[in-house]
A and B are shown apart, each in its own frame.
Chain A
Amino acid sequence: MMETLASWLEPFQKRRLSLFGLCVLILVILSAAFAPFLSSFDPLAMDPINRLLSPTATHWFGTDHFGRDTFTRIVYGSRMALLIGTGVVGFALLTGVPIGVLSVLFPRVGNLMMRAVDLLMAFPAMLMALGLIVILGQGVTNAILALGVVYLTRTARLTYSVSLRLKAETFVEAGRSMGARTWWIASRHIVPNLVSPLLVQASFVFAFAQLGAASLDFLGLGAPPDIPSWGNMLAESRIYITRAPWLLFFPGMMIVLTAFSLNLVGDALRDRLDPRYRDEQLSKTGKP
C-alpha cells in the first residue's frame, strides 16, 4: 500500500511544478471541505457600510459591492468548482466509456455512434454548451449536463482508440480462443486497461470543466447568482474593474490556478504511467 502511494508520488518529486499543482489542488479540496472553519464571515452576509473595501487585515481579499467578504466567497466557491468538475468528469466517463467500448465491440452500431461523436466534436465547445443550456434551462445541474455532453466526446474518442488497440491484443484473442463472450472480454480485458489513460484524460476534462463552468457563470447561464462561485464573482464584479480590480483578480486567479494545477497533475500522472511501461521494457530485454 505504502509502496503504491510512493510510486504515485515519485513523478511529483521529479516535476517540481506538478508538485506545486498537487499542493494547490489539495488546498482547494481542503478549503471546500472546511470552508466554515476557514473564515468567520458568512459568504452571503451583506455589509453595505464596508462595500468595495481593498484587502485589509480583516478582509484579506477585500469586499464586494454588497460588502461580502471576498476571501470567504472564494473559499465557498471552491465547493462549486469541485462539484462542477466532479459532475462533468463523472458524466463524461459514465457516458463516454460505454460509448467507446461498445463501439469497438459492436462495429456496426459503433461506426454510427462514433460518427455522432465526431459530429458533436465539430461544434465549438462553448457554443454547444450554450445551445444545450438554452434547451435545458439554467442551473447547476444543467450546466454539468451541458459541459458533460461537450466533454464526453473526449472520453469516448480516447476510449474508442485505446479499446480498438486492446481488441487486437493477443490476450483478447486468447480469451476468445477459450470461448469468452463479449461481456467477458469487455469487463476483464478492455475496461481494466482503460483506467490509466482515462485517469490522465479525466484530469484534463476536470480542468476544462472549470473554465467552461466559469464562462457559463460569467454569462449568467450557470450557477444562480446567489450561489458563490468564481465565475459568478467575476460576472458581478466586472463593472468595478477600475475601482476594485481585486474583485476580479482573486476569483480569476483561482480559476487559472486550479485549471493550470490540474493540467500539471495530469502531466505527472502520465509520467507515472509511462515509467511503469519503461520498467516493463527493462525487465523484458535487460536493456533500458
Chain B
Amino acid sequence: MSSETILDVAGLRTTFHVKRANKKYALKAVDNVSFHLDKGEILGFVGETGCGKTTVGRSIIKLTKPEGGVVTFGGNNILNLTGRRLREVRLKVRMVFQDPYASLNPRRRIADSVAEAGDIHKLFNSPQDRLKQIAETLKRVGLDPSFADRFPHELSGGQRQRVGIARALLPIPGIIIADEPVSALDVSIQAQILNLLLDLRKRLNLAIIFISHDLSVVGQICDRIAVMYLGRVVEIGEAEELFNRPLHPYTQALIHAVPKPNPRLRIGKGMALGEPPSRFELKPGCTYADRCPLAEGVCLTDVPEIKTVKNAQMAACHKL
C-alpha cells in the first residue's frame, strides 16, 4: 500500500444464499478478493457473466452486504460503518450504471437526477447555487446546460450515459465505480464515453473502478486489470503486461477468445474451453481446473493462493 492508495480491499467475501429446486446453496459470489486502488488510477475488473465483478463493486459501498473482509477508505473500514457515516462514504464513492435507460427515473428532469446526491445530503446553499452547480456538472460531461430541463426519454443513449456520469460527479467524489458503463452503447458512442472518462480522470484526479466483460475496452483505458473467475481474482497486474504477457491460463484463454478486428488474425480451431462449471456446486481445488489444459494433481485438491509472479503482476495458479 502506497501513500497514494485511496481504497484498500482485503479478503472481501460476499455470499448469496439461494434456493434452487428446494435445495439451499451458499453461492460464493465474491471469494477472498483483495486489491488496492490509487488516486487517479483506473482499475479494471474483467470476467464473464457471474464471475462476481459487479458484486465486488456493490460490496465496496455495502449495496450488497459482504460477509467478511476489510474495505479501508479514508482511514475507516467501510464495512463497519452504518447510518450517517455510511451515507457520507456513499457521497465520496459513487456509481455509474450499465443501462442508461433504466438508471434514470423517467419522471424526473435531468437537473433533478444530476443534483440528486446534493439534494439528498442538503448540500446546496440556495436554488441559484443548485442551478449553477447542475450547469457546471453538465458542462463537465460535455452536455449543454439546457439539458437540465429535459426528461430522460428526450435524450439519446449516449447523452443519457453522460447524465449518468454527471450524477456521479456532483459533488465531485474520490472514487467512481463504473459498472459496465459502455456495454449498452454503440461503438461510436462507446468511444465518446470512454474518452470522457479518461478526460475526467485527468482533470479531477478521479480513481475509477471500471467493471466490464469487454476485454478490449478494459485493456484500452485501464491502468491495471484484475481478471475474475467464479468469484476469485485469478490475475491482477499492469494492463500492458497483463495483455501482452498473461500469466494465468484463464487470462490467456480470455484474451485469445476476443474476436480481433483483423481478418488475418482468426481464432483457430481447437481452443474449445467448454462450459464453465455450475456455480452452485463447486468442486474442491482450483475453480478453473475443469476447463484448464494444464490442470493436474494439486489443481484438483488445493485452491491456489494469489501470489506475486513478477514485478507487480500477481496470479492464482499452481502452475506458475
A binds B: yes
Which residues of A approach B to under 8 Å, CB–CB? Answer: 169-171, 173-181, 184, 188-189, 192-193, 195, 276, 279-280, 283-284
* A179/B87 in contact, CB under 8 A: yes
Tell me if B107 is interfacial: C-beta within 8 Å of chain A: yes
* Contact A179:B105 (CB < 8 A) given known A280-B153, A283-B154: no
Using a CB-CB cutoff of 8 Å, which residues 193-216 of chain B contact chain A?
none
Closest Cβ of chain B to A3, distance in Å, is 13
* B90/A175 in contact, CB under 8 A: no
Using a CB-CB cutoff of 8 Å, which residues 86-100 of chain B contact chain A?
86-88, 90-91, 94-95, 97-99
Residues of chain B within 8 A (CB-CB) of A176 are 63
* A171/B103 in contact, CB under 8 A: yes
* A284/B157 in contact, CB under 8 A: yes
Tell me if B117 is interfacial: C-beta within 8 Å of chain A: yes
Residues of chain A within 8 A (CB-CB) of B153 are 276, 279-280, 283
A280 to B112, CA, bound (A): 20
* A178/B102 in contact, CB under 8 A: no
* A174/B107 in contact, CB under 8 A: no
A94 to B95, CA, bound (A): 35
* Contact A180:B107 (CB < 8 A) given known A170-B99, A284-B101: no
* Contact A170:B88 (CB < 8 A) given known A176-B63, A178-B117: no
Residues of chain A within 8 A (CB-CB) of B260 are none
Residues of chain A within 8 A (CB-CB) of B154 are 283
A180 to B90, CA, bound (A): 9
The closest CB in chain B to the CB of A276 belongs to: B153
Residues of chain A within 8 A (CB-CB) of B232 are none
A188 to B153, CA, bound (A): 18
B interface residues, tally (CB under 8 Å): 32
Can you report 6 residue pairs joining A to B where beta carbons are below 8 Å apart?
A173-B103, A174-B116, A175-B120, A177-B63, A179-B87, A179-B91
* A178/B91 in contact, CB under 8 A: yes
Q: Can you add 20 more A-B contacts, CB < 8 Å, to A174-B164, A175-B116?
A: A170-B102, A171-B105, A174-B95, A174-B103, A178-B90, A179-B88, A179-B90, A179-B91, A179-B117, A179-B121, A181-B87, A188-B105, A189-B105, A192-B105, A193-B105, A195-B107, A276-B153, A279-B153, A283-B153, A284-B101
* B120/A280 in contact, CB under 8 A: no
Residues of chain B within 8 A (CB-CB) of A179 are 86-88, 90-91, 117, 120-121
* B157/A280 in contact, CB under 8 A: no
* A174/B167 in contact, CB under 8 A: yes
* A178/B105 in contact, CB under 8 A: no
Closest Cβ of chain A to B124, distance in Å, is 14
* B94/A193 in contact, CB under 8 A: no
* A193/B97 in contact, CB under 8 A: no
A181 to B116, CA, bound (A): 12
Residues of chain B within 8 A (CB-CB) of A195 are 107
Closest Cβ of chain B to A182, distance in Å, is 12
The closest CB in chain B to the CB of A191 belongs to: B107
Contact partner of B120 (CB less than 8 A), chosen from A178, A193, A276, A279, is A178
A176 to B62, CA, bound (A): 10
Query: Which 3 residue pairs are nearest across A and B when measured between Cβ atoms?
Result: A179-B87, A179-B90, A170-B103
Residues of chain B within 8 A (CB-CB) of A169 are 102, 105
Tell me if B301 is interfacial: C-beta within 8 Å of chain A: no
Tell me if B61 is interfacial: C-beta within 8 Å of chain A: yes
Residues of chain A within 8 A (CB-CB) of B63 are 173, 176-177
Which residues of B approach A to under 8 Å, CB–CB? Answer: 61, 63, 86-88, 90-91, 94-95, 97-99, 101-108, 112-113, 116-117, 120-121, 153-154, 156-157, 164, 167
Closest Cβ of chain A to B171, distance in Å, is 10
The residue among B97, B104, B112, B153 with the most chain A CB atoms within 10 A of its own CB is B153
Contact partner of A193 (CB less than 8 A), chosen from B107, B113, B156, B167, is B107
The closest CB in chain B to the CB of A176 belongs to: B63
Residues of chain A within 8 A (CB-CB) of B98 are 170
* B101/A173 in contact, CB under 8 A: no
A192 to B107, CA, bound (A): 7
A180 to B107, CA, bound (A): 18
A177 to B59, CA, bound (A): 11
A280 to B102, CA, bound (A): 12
A181 to B157, CA, bound (A): 28
Closest Cβ of chain B to A1, distance in Å, is 15
Closest Cβ of chain A to B148, distance in Å, is 17
Closest Cβ of chain B to A263, distance in Å, is 26
Closest Cβ of chain B to A163, distance in Å, is 14
A279 to B152, CA, bound (A): 12
Residues of chain A within 8 A (CB-CB) of B95 are 174, 177
Contact partner of B90 (CB less than 8 A), chosen from A177, A188, A279, A280, is A177
Residues of chain B within 8 A (CB-CB) of A170 are 97-99, 102-103
A6 to B113, CA, bound (A): 28
A176 to B116, CA, bound (A): 11
A280 to B101, CA, bound (A): 10
Closest Cβ of chain A to B18, distance in Å, is 16
* A184/B107 in contact, CB under 8 A: no
* B91/A173 in contact, CB under 8 A: no
Residues of chain A within 8 A (CB-CB) of B167 are 174, 178
The closest CB in chain A to the CB of B63 belongs to: A177
Residues of chain A within 8 A (CB-CB) of B87 are 179, 181
A189 to B94, CA, bound (A): 19
A184 to B122, CA, bound (A): 12
A224 to B54, CA, bound (A): 64
A276 to B98, CA, bound (A): 23
* B90/A192 in contact, CB under 8 A: no
